[in-house]
């Protein structure tokens, strides 16, 4: 399989598409805002004018889109992917969406004899650009085995987790921990600031202790530098928190901590910080506490 269509060239998609080109695939790209296709076209990709046109000759169709609505529009909408697929193609959704959205897509593609995998990712802008993502996959195992070589240049690891929706489920489960860790770090650093500790000293300790975490290191460093450049936008973390709440509610699963974190994220987005990095949720805690975390 050599011909790939890649749709959705945001922070994550642009890195993945670039790595597919570097790996020698024949790539056709599409993005809602067409100017994002330019760097890829300059490196040898062709550009589709619509999702339907982009997927026409592809053997494998991959997309990384903002949210469930974007997937709805790009897959099911006018000139969407489904309007122009043919039997034998494989579609891979790498967006973070509700597992039901994966199920809906799998059913619609199946009607057209197209195979479908949900394959969302862990990692952020840097891991996407360097091919170091951690991919989690749901769908038929034999289809996963067929496309695994395509996912390998994008990733450090790939976990196959079961039938349709299992990748999407794993992604939400993982992001519930990510959000809770950011909240925990923010609460701790606000308290440390109020207690007269230097936040950088606190981060130095958190870097070595037995509960250390790359999230504490990465987010902590950006925070003390007051750097909120989006690697993963806060608006997407709110989207994920809302998906997690719905997912857990459907399964009657308790997530009291996640519910509190969702409120913090919501407060921060309502302050106008949705386009900032996800770590901007900590600004809502600072606001409440009347302090700013900096070295």
Residues that bind ligand NAP (CB under 6 A): 8-13, 31-33, 36, 64-67, 69-70, 73-74, 95-96, 121, 124-125, 231-233, 236
Nearest residue relative to ligand NAP (C-beta): 10
Nearest-angstrom CA–CA distance, 47 and 59: 16
Of 30 and 160, the one with the shorter C-beta distance to ligand NAP is 30
User: Whose structure tokens read 């925070």?
Assistant: 223
Of 170 and 190, the one with the shorter C-beta distance to ligand NAP is 170
- For the bound state, the minimum distance from the C-beta of residue 60 to ligand NAP, rounded and expressed in Å, comes to 18
- For the bound state, the minimum distance from the C-beta of residue 256 to ligand NAP, rounded and expressed in Å, comes to 23
Of 9 and 40, the one with the shorter C-beta distance to ligand NAP is 9
- For the bound state, the minimum distance from the C-beta of residue 68 to ligand NAP, rounded and expressed in Å, comes to 9
- For the bound state, the minimum distance from the C-beta of residue 280 to ligand NAP, rounded and expressed in Å, comes to 14
**Residues taking part in catalysis:** 171
What is the gyration radius of the CA atoms in the chain, in angstroms?
A: 20
Residues facing 47 on adjacent strands = 29
Of 125 and 140, the one with the shorter C-beta distance to ligand NAP is 125
Of 74 and 158, the one with the shorter C-beta distance to ligand NAP is 74
Q: Are strands 121-122 and 133-138 parallel, antiparallel or unpaired?
A: antiparallel
- For the bound state, the minimum distance from the C-beta of residue 203 to ligand NAP, rounded and expressed in Å, comes to 21
């Amino acid at each position: 399989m050599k011909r790939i269509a890649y749709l959705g060239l945001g922070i994550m998609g642009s890195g993945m598409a670039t790595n597919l080109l570097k790996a020698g695939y024949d790539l056709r790209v599409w993005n809602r805002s067409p100017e994002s296709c330019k760097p890829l076209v300059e490196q040898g990709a062709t550009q589709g004018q619509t999702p339907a046109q982009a997927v026409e000759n592809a053997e494998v169709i991959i997309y990384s889109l903002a949210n469930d609505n974007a997937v709805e529009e790009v897959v099911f909408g006018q000139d969407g992917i489904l309007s122009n697929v043919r039997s034998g193609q494989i579609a891979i959704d790498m967006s973070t969406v509700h597992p039901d959205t994966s199920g809906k897509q799998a059913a619609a593609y199946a009607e057209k004899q197209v195979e479908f995998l949900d394959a969302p990712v862990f990692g952020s802008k840097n891991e996407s650009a360097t091919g170091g993502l951690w991919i989690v996959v749901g769908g038929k195992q034999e289809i996963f085995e067929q496309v695994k070589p395509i996912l390998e240049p994008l990733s450090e690891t790939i976990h196959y987790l079961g039938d349709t929706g299992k990748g999407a489920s794993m992604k939400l489960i993982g992001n519930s921990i990510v959000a809770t860790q950011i909240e925990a770090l923010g609460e701790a650093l606000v308290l440390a600031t109020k207690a007269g500790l230097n936040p950088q000293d606190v981060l130095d300790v958190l870097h070595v202790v037995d509960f250390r975490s790359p999230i504490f290191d990465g987010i902590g460093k950006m925070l003390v530098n007051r750097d909120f450049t989006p690697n993963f936008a806060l608006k997407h973390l709110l989207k994920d928190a809302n998906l997690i709440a719905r997912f857990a509610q459907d399964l009657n699963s308790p997530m009291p901590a996640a519910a509190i974190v969702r409120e913090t994220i919501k407060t921060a987005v309502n302050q106008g910080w949705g386009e900032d990095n996800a770590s901007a949720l900590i600004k809502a805690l600072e606001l409440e506490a009347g302090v700013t975390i900096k070295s």
